Amino acid sequence: MATIKDVAEKAGVSVGTVSKVLRNVYVRPENRRRVEEAIELLNYQVNTYAQGLRASQTYTIAIIVPDLINPFFALLVNYVEQVLAAIGYRLFVCNSHCNAGRELSYINMVRRNKVDGLIAVTYSNSTEYENADFPLVSIDRHYAGESCCVASDNAMGGELAARKFIDTGCRSVIYIHNGSLLEGETLKRGHTFLNTCRQAGIRSTEIHFSEETTLDNVRIRQIEQFISQSTRDGRCDYDGIFASSDVHAMVIRRQLERLGLKVPEDLQVIGYDGMRVMNVGGYYVSTIVQPVKEMALACVDNLIRRIENRPYERSVILPVRFVGGGTTKGDPDQPDPEAEADLTW
Amino acid sequence: MATIKDVAEKAGVSVGTVSKVLRNVYVRPENRRRVEEAIELLNYQVNTYAQGLRASQTYTIAIIVPDLINPFFALLVNYVEQVLAAIGYRLFVCNSHCNAGRELSYINMVRRNKVDGLIAVTYSNSTEYENADFPLVSIDRHYAGESCCVASDNAMGGELAARKFIDTGCRSVIYIHNGSLLEGETLKRGHTFLNTCRQAGIRSTEIHFSEETTLDNVRIRQIEQFISQSTRDGRCDYDGIFASSDVHAMVIRRQLERLGLKVPEDLQVIGYDGMRVMNVGGYYVSTIVQPVKEMALACVDNLIRRIENRPYERSVILPVRFVGGGTTKGDPDQPDPEAEADLTW
DNA sequence: CTGAAAGCGCTTACAG
DNA sequence: CTGAAAGCGCTTACAG
């Protein structure tokens, strides 16, 4: 493997000059040409570890997500990588499994690696983020430190769901969630949903499932059990169920159908996220669509601004939209035309 | 940030001794204790860039996949990360978008970064892999060099699909694929499928769609068009369609239903991959299930063996299984019990 | 077993 | 603008 020294020798200049060419600092055109030639000739590749050791920048970002099994996170990581690759950054991906210890171990890894910055979807209450001594963009969570929070407009999402249930004549609705109960943007989903429904005179309750488990199957069983208990003699206590994610909306719908109920005729279900069948087909359920791509873009943009000490937003809230996916009444039959079009960039 | 020198000072030993403690080389117990205390006290984190510069190992792996939009790749990356994290490695994720240039740029990045090894799902014909001067595990592709190929048993998959169609009385089947036509394990899907059907006296054809596009929407349109053209007066030319992936099986099924045909009554569809609704629900279509977890494990295991100069397999072929997902006849009504159980580790 | 020292491949003031 | 040199934080023979 050729080093900067080899290049300098071949080009007849000093290593300092080669370094400058590498970093696009001005050198005499003649020298630049010779260095570039030598680089080409030797198939030279800069050693990022040496570069990272000496310089401050590593052009590396890490993203912490619970896992890539949830399609929403997979999509988010997909787009984040795409945006970063376009500007010459690489991406470490870290699955936290919602475990504070794991998150911490990644934060330390980030420090060890001198990663330039971190994008995190966190469900733990780790104080490590508060005193983040590195550029940090958080999804859905605000931190006291110098970080940026990117989120979809959860209040708007809650309201859209409420409006749908109100407009279709629901009498008793429930918000089923099991995310974090810590301060965070996602709490607004439920608050706004419940407030809006209550103001419309609809009976409104909520139920929260423990976040003490990373075993999704356990959560799923809990939700299924709750749905079963809420249903007697083919009638459910609720006629409108708003779930904090599409995955859970799916589980709820499935359980209702197992119990012999018809969705949306007997009762309606709305999810959150906007996931589509294998990411190319229709929506699984009626849902509040999060603008994943735009969120990825906002994350990267603000993180890089922060890294480069340019002004950045402390908070970015992006609009959501409601889309009918067969689990609500009165939606157009046609699939959302945009749905098919927004796969490619 | 504390350095190894700070630790050495505080512990009253030399940096060499600290380094040894870090790498678990034997030092006098008393010294080890003092070093560990100092590390704790100073909250010392080793700088991986310095370590990477000096030592050969970086404890970093990169994985190249087309994208994370396809749930199969997302799952694969998820499990690879999980296995790697458990042994102290970190993971770069690189989306190639099936573009040879992009793959090459990542390979070079890998070299620059001195990544310890590479796991790659490649669809380009890049010769870079052939002369891979780094540990490489490839999914579905064999390379001449010192690499390892991990794949599901594609021949078995093709045969299982054929058997299903034969057993349910199909008369005219087709294999629809659009992966790479380069030498690779996936070709066996079609070969074995078609051969088995032909031997059973069934009319068997195949169609391949261009891989010249990374625009999945274009491929989807092509497939939809082909299905439309194969269907006249509510009758399709085929009564058994085997698709090279679940995504395409979904598209085919959707298009057939749009044309007024009933699946599986009028004709059957089998996909490949074994993807499930949001990774927690039922199967989208009847399919050949690839053992993603086991594949991830095999990739990491052999890559690490290769890195550590321990014996490794040149080829790992893992068994698949057929599972009914509503698009084939004569399958049990109950969902596959294992389906629900295999989400968690 | 341990310490002193060289050196990994870069970047960055500092002279010139 | 360019070169010589120091130094980033580690690891690794080499003596002792």
Give A338's pLDDT tier (boundaries 50, 70, 90): very low
Report the chain B residue with the minimal C-alpha distance to residue A273.
B278
Answer yes or no: is pLDDT of B214 > 60.
no
Residue A341: predicted pLDDT: 37
Contacts of B278 in chain A (CB under 8 A): 70-71, 246-247, 250, 275, 284
Query: Max Cα separation, chain A?
Result: 88
- In which order are the strands placed within the sheet that holds A117-120? A315-318, A148-152, A136-139, A117-120, A60-65, A90-95, B90-95, B60-65, B117-120, B136-139, B148-152, B315-318
pLDDT interval class at B234 (50, 70, 90):
confident
pLDDT at residue B342 tops 50: no
What value does the mean pLDDT take over residues B261-287? 93
Tell me the nearest-neighbour CA distance from B162 into chain A, angstroms. 25
B287 in helix, strand or coil?
strand
Question: CB-based contacts of A73: which residues, under 8 Å, 6+ apart?
Answer: A65, A66, A67, A121
pLDDT class of A336 with cuts at 50, 70, 90: very low
The distance in angstroms from the start CA to the end CA of chain B is 36
Q: What is the pLDDT of residue B345?
A: 28
Q: Is the pLDDT confidence value at B233 over 50?
A: yes
DSSP-derived 3-state class of residue B42: helix
Query: Dihedrals φ, ψ of A250, to 5°?
Result: -60, -45
Strands A136-139 and A117-120 come out as: parallel
- CA distances in angstroms from A27 to A8, A20, A33, listed in the order given: 13, 7, 10
Residue A169: its pLDDT value, please? 95
Query: What would the mean pLDDT of B159-183 be, rounded to a whole number?
Result: 92
- Cis omega before residue B337 (within 30°)? no
d(CA B92, CA B77): 10
As ranges, strand C nucleotides with an atom below 7 A of a protein CB are 1-5, 7-13
Which residues make Cβ contacts (< 8 Å) with residue A337, sequence separation at least 6? none
Structure confidence at residue B251 as a pLDDT band (50, 70, 90) = very high
- Beta B90-95 vs A117-120: how paired, if at all? unpaired
Chain A closest CA to B66's CA: distance in Å? Answer: 10
Residue-wise pLDDT tens digits, A263-300: 999 999 999 999 999 888 889 999 999 999 999 999 99
Average pLDDT, chain A: 88
Q: What's the gap between Cα A299 and its chain centre? A: 9
Residue A213 confidence (pLDDT): 60
Going by C-alpha positions, the residue among A170, A188, A153 that lies closest to residue A289 is A153
Residue B237 has pLDDT above 70, yes or no: yes
Closest residue to D9 by CA to C1' distance?
A: B50
User: Does residue A158 or residue A55 have the better pLDDT?
Assistant: A158
Residue with tokens 């087909």: A281
Q: Indicate the range of A45-54, A184-193, B65-74, B329-338 predicted with least confidence.
A: B329-338
Instruction: Report pLDDT for B34.
Output: 93
Provide the mean pLDDT of chain B.
Answer: 88
The three-point CA angle B81-B211-B149 to 5° equals 40
Question: What is the C-alpha separation between B34 and A113, in angstroms, rounded?
Answer: 25
CA angle A96, A99, A101 (to 5 degrees): 95
Confidence band, pLDDT 50/70/90 cuts, at residue B31: very high
- In this predicted model, what pLDDT tens digit does every residue of A4-62 receive, in sequence order? 999 999 999 999 999 999 888 899 999 999 999 999 998 888 888 888 888 767 888 99
Q: Does residue B212 carry a pLDDT above 70? A: no
Task: Point out the nucleotide closest to A19 (alpha carbon to C1′).
Answer: C11
Q: What tokens appear for A192 in the block?
A: 């706004």
E strand spans, B1-130? 60-65, 90-95, 117-120
SS3 A215: coil
Q: Does residue B289 contact residue B321 with C-beta atoms inside 8 Å?
A: yes
Distance, Å, A94 CA → D8 C1': 27
At B223 the pLDDT is 92
Contact (CB<8Å) B74/A95? no
Query: Tell me, what amino acid is at B50?
Result: A
Higher pLDDT, A63 or B98: A63
The residue in chain B having the minimum alpha-carbon distance to the alpha carbon of residue A334 is: B258
> pTM for the complete prediction?
0.90
Helices (H) and strands (E) in chain B, counts: 12, 14
Q: If you write DSSP's letter for every residue of B117-141 in order, what string do you get?
A: EEEE---S--TTTTT--S-EEEES-
Question: What is chain B's Cα-based Rg?
Answer: 25
Q: How far is the CA of B310 from the C1' of D14 (A)?
A: 29
**Is B107 or A265 the better-scoring residue by pLDDT?**
A265
| Mean per-residue pLDDT, A251-257 | 93
Q: How far apart are CA B213 and CA B99, in angstroms?
A: 9
Rounded-to-integer distance, Cα A266 and Cα A287, Å: 18
Interchain contact, B279 vs A50, CB within 8 Å: no
Q: Read off the pLDDT of each residue in B253-279 and give the average, rounded to a whole number.
A: 94
pLDDT digits (tens, 9 = 90+) for A197-216: 999 999 999 999 876 665 67
For residues B117 and B136, the answer to whether their CB atoms sit within 8 Å is: yes
Q: Is the pLDDT of residue B244 over 80?
A: yes
Does B68 contact A47 at a Cβ distance shorter than 8 Å? no
* pLDDT at residue B2 in the model: 86
Strand duo A172-177 + A203-208: pairing: parallel
* Minimum Cα–Cα distance from A84: chain B residue: B94
- Asked if the bond preceding B332 is cis, omega within 30° of 0, the reply is no
pLDDT above 70 (res B108): yes
